[in-house]
Amino acid sequence: MAGICSGFGHLWTHISCTTPHVTFDIDPFYVMEVVAAAQEREQSGEAVFHLEVGQPSTGAPQGALDVAHEMLDSDTLGYTTSRGIPSFAPAIAGHIASQYDVEVDPARIAITQGASGGFVLSLLAAFEPGARVAVSTPGYPCYRNMLTALHMEPVAIDVDASTRYQPTVELLEAAGPLDGVIVASPSNPTGTVLHPDELRAMVEWCDANDVRFISDEIYHGLTYGDIETATATQFSDNAIVINSFSKYFSMTGWRVGWAVLPEELTGIFDRLAQNLVICPPALGQHMAVAALDCRDELEGHLARYAANRQILLDGLPTAGLTDLAPSDGAFYVWARTDHLAADSKLLAAQWLDQLGVAATPGVDFHPTDGHRFMRFSFCGTPETMKGAVDALHKWFLRSVSG
């Protein structure tokens, strides 16, 4: 196995930096290393089935692109205020009203550089250094890495199939004193969704215990079947809600997102934004407002993801991958792989090397148990999904017969 993984084994690193003045220790985002290894393979002329990245294979919707062309020809596209172009917050308030039937004062809606920018500003606005903030494990790795970089303490809440890989009030209660909680529904990497009642219970528990609830709603709009989603804004004005144009709206590189803030945090959030980022890219801001009206095209992407998801749910079991988290939303399938290989990093390297299948080993999402899992992203094309499951199926048959 060690020989097999030589393809990108050397890329797995852990960065630790110590200077006389600063010590920080932060994990890399391993998926980027799979991406690099997959690109290396493609550059050498070999095909790759890309199931590693959580990035739509489509670009911005046409209505947003049309606006971009117009703006490039007619506007200087300089700085905007840190709150963005005047139409942004009212447009997002309209979006929230239409999706969840809840009214939000546009004064509570801040524009951000994607969800990532929204997280950094929200964490700085809401917490002091040393704050204890609960994050689900497995979960999106940047939460814990951002908290660490900001000298806050990520408190791991271990979640598993018994709670559909989501935290519960009981798990929060068992975590010791907390200042905050970050919850993602639909979740990355598992795709699981909190029922509105469960979300409400956690938001209300946080309010009662003076814990700041942060709801990452970046995968809202991407659910399959009869899955109900709610926004934390429906249950409390104290919750911070983070969202983005990167996923449903298919605009990763334009770097626009938003945060719904408790009124008491708007002032500090604005001052942090003015000083740290000034504003998100002006062109992306105009495109984002236009993208809100492109639902027909975006619902077409959703239909493709639904078909891709079915290809994986039908096909992965034929490759021996039978223990799959319920993929309610987002565009991921989280699969247990430890019966096939002890270390999913080595398995991922083997699949890339032998089959051209790029998937993300679970170590990004679960520092201690991730070697037992793999994440498959299904936001590519149906042909990619079919090619990948076919290759994995044949590989599995060869490995059981050999």
CB nearer to ligand PLP: pick between 229 and 350: 229
What is the chain's Cα-based Rg?
21
Give the residue carrying structure tokens 């492109």: 294
Per-residue exposure over 55-84, b if at least 16 CB sit within 10 Å of its own CB, e if not: bbebebbebbeebbeebeeeeeeeebebbb
Cα dihedral sign, 198-203-205-211: positive
CB nearer to ligand PLP: pick between 230 and 251: 251
CB nearer to ligand PLP: pick between 148 and 252: 252
The answer to whether the beta carbons of residues 136 and 364 sit under 8 Å apart is no
Chain-centroid distance of CA 53 in Å reads 10
Question: What element of type H or E holds 212?
Answer: strand 212-216
Q: Are strands 180-184 and 212-216 parallel, antiparallel or unpaired?
A: parallel
CB nearer to ligand PLP: pick between 251 and 355: 251
Residues belonging to the chain: 402
Closest-by-Cβ residue to ligand PLP is 114
Which of 320, 352, 322, 349 shows the shortest CA–CA distance to 334? 322
In the complex, what is the shortest distance from the CB of residue 104 to ligand PLP, in angstroms, rounded to a whole number?
A: 19
- The Cβ of residue 304 has, within 10 Å, a number of other Cβ atoms equal to 19
CB nearer to ligand PLP: pick between 280 and 320: 280
CB nearer to ligand PLP: pick between 96 and 340: 96
The answer to whether the beta carbons of residues 279 and 79 sit under 8 Å apart is yes
The answer to whether the beta carbons of residues 132 and 155 sit under 8 Å apart is yes
Residues lying near ligand PLP in the complex (CB under 6 A) are found at 54, 114-116, 140, 184, 188, 216, 218, 244, 246, 252, 257
Task: List the Cα angle 3/348/57 in 5-degree steps.
Answer: 140
Helices 382-401, 344-355: inter-axial angle, 10-degree rounding: 110
CB nearer to ligand PLP: pick between 241 and 341: 241
CB nearer to ligand PLP: pick between 113 and 266: 113
